[in-house]
Amino acid sequence: MNQPHMDIPVRAPSATSADDTVLPFEIGALDLRGRVVRLGAAVDSILNSHNYPQPVAKLLGEAIALTVMLGMSLKFEGRFILQTQTDGPVRMLVVDFRSPSQVRACARYDKARVAGLIESGKTSSADLLGHGHLAMTIDQGADMNRYQGLVALNGGTLEDAAHEYFKSSEQIPTRVRLAVAEEMSPGAGHRWRAGGLMLQFLPKAPERARVADLPPGDAPEGTALHVVDEDDAWVEGRSLVETIEDVELIDPALSSEQLVYRLFHERGVRVFNSVPVVAQCSCSRDSVEAMLKSFSQDDRDHMVENGEISVTCEFCSANYKFAPQEVGASSGGETNGGS
């Protein structure tokens, strides 16, 4: 195994907790790399811009934390989009990360089914998601190909889906932990907090990077599965990650540096500069106007209600109002909003 570089400055972990940041780190002795995300005002702003039931907001917070950790891997100006489509009470989650640091998100859900789960006390991520798929899309911009990976959601959590994605699509041993909760402050009400940690095994020696082949779909019954023993370094790393409690990921009194030091100090952990995260929607009046003008004349005419066209952004809930003539619609096609 690699030994820690002795010329790297050594210091105690910072006790200063910084919300809305991602801290990259590595454990050179174990060939492990990872990231810790801490979200305060950013996730609170996104979740409070909607009137989601508490379990839906919590699930969307998990998706935001996961997307930010994954999106931070982009080395170019682009977007990383996580989207679920399932048969569960929360039928869709969409999180849009725009490098280097902007994130927005929204959810679609069945109010009656979610209310039923709340009443029965069954509000786990698996209960809310149900079965379907999770898509991860990398958009490199105009004139560039998109890359998309799909993974099945079979009644599991977003953590489960992330593990399966990296196992089947990237073949990189990966462990993810996510946590979301409301922080109650006297006189200040509640605020949402989210956190996450991702650890990956990235050895330089190719023989240590071998993983088991995926089960062949057309193999005869009884065919022995390909098995590769896990590397000792990876077993040690993932075992430590599995000891993390939810409160450690969201506790404002425990900094990201203190968390990774608590986990990996015996092996030596190196941290890099943290990267800020901001909740920011990319919608604008100009972009909405251009979108409306792309519709047919007949469609625009039917959008007129009470003498105006009103559009609400599904991500940030910003509302844009247009006079019909601004977007080439006929005011004569308006309908009465109360009819």
Q: Specify the pLDDT at position 216.
A: 57
- To the question of domain 21-218+226-279 being in CATH 3.55.30.10, the answer is yes
Q: Which amino acid is at 237?
A: G
- The pLDDT confidence band at residue 1, using thresholds 50, 70 and 90, is very low
Contact call for residues 123 and 117 (beta carbons, < 8 A) = yes
Higher pLDDT, 106 or 335: 106
For the segment 148-197, what is each residue's pLDDT rounded down to a tens digit?
999 999 989 999 999 999 988 888 999 999 999 999 877 767 899 999 99
| CA distance linking residue 81 with residue 96, whole number of Å | 5
**For range 287-311, the mean pLDDT:** 89
Averaged pLDDT, 107-126: 96
- Burial level of 130, CB count in 10 A (0-12/13-18/19+)? middle
pLDDT number for residue 219: 58
Nearest CA to 297 among 321, 326, 327? 327
What mean pLDDT is predicted for residues 220-247?
A: 84
Closest of 95, 18, 42, 26 to residue 267, by C-alpha? 26
pLDDT at 227: 66
DSSP string computed for 222-263: TPPPP--PPPHHHHHHHHHHTT--HHHHH-TTS-HHHHHHHH
CA–CA distance, 271 with 293 (Å, rounded to integer): 49
CA distance 21 to 39: 7
DSSP 169: I
- Using only C-alpha atoms, what is the Rg of the chain? 23
Mean pLDDT of 18-46: 96
- 32 burial class (0-12, 13-18, 19+ CB within 10 angstroms)? buried
Q: Per-domain residue ranges for the chain? A: 21-218+226-279, 285-333
Average pLDDT over every residue of 121-150: 91
Is the pLDDT at 3 greater than 60, yes or no? Answer: no
Give pTM, 2 decimals: 0.86
Task: State residue 21's pLDDT score.
Answer: 97
Confidence of residue 116 (pLDDT cuts 50, 70, 90): very high
Encoded amino acid at 221, one letter: E
Non-local CB neighbours of 183 within 8 Å, separated by 6+ positions = 190, 191, 192, 193, 250, 252
Same fold, 21-218+226-279 and 285-333: no
Strand-pairing partners, residue 208, are none
| Residue 27 · residue 261 · CB < 8 Å | no
* 193 bridge partner residues: 181
Q: Is the pLDDT of residue 335 over 60?
A: no
CATH number for domain 285-333, candidates 3.40.1360.10, 3.90.1280.10, 3.30.390.10, 2.60.120.560:
3.90.1280.10
pLDDT at 136 over 50: yes
Q: Which residues contact 291 (CB under 8 A, 6 or more apart)?
A: 311
Q: What is the pLDDT of residue 220?
A: 66
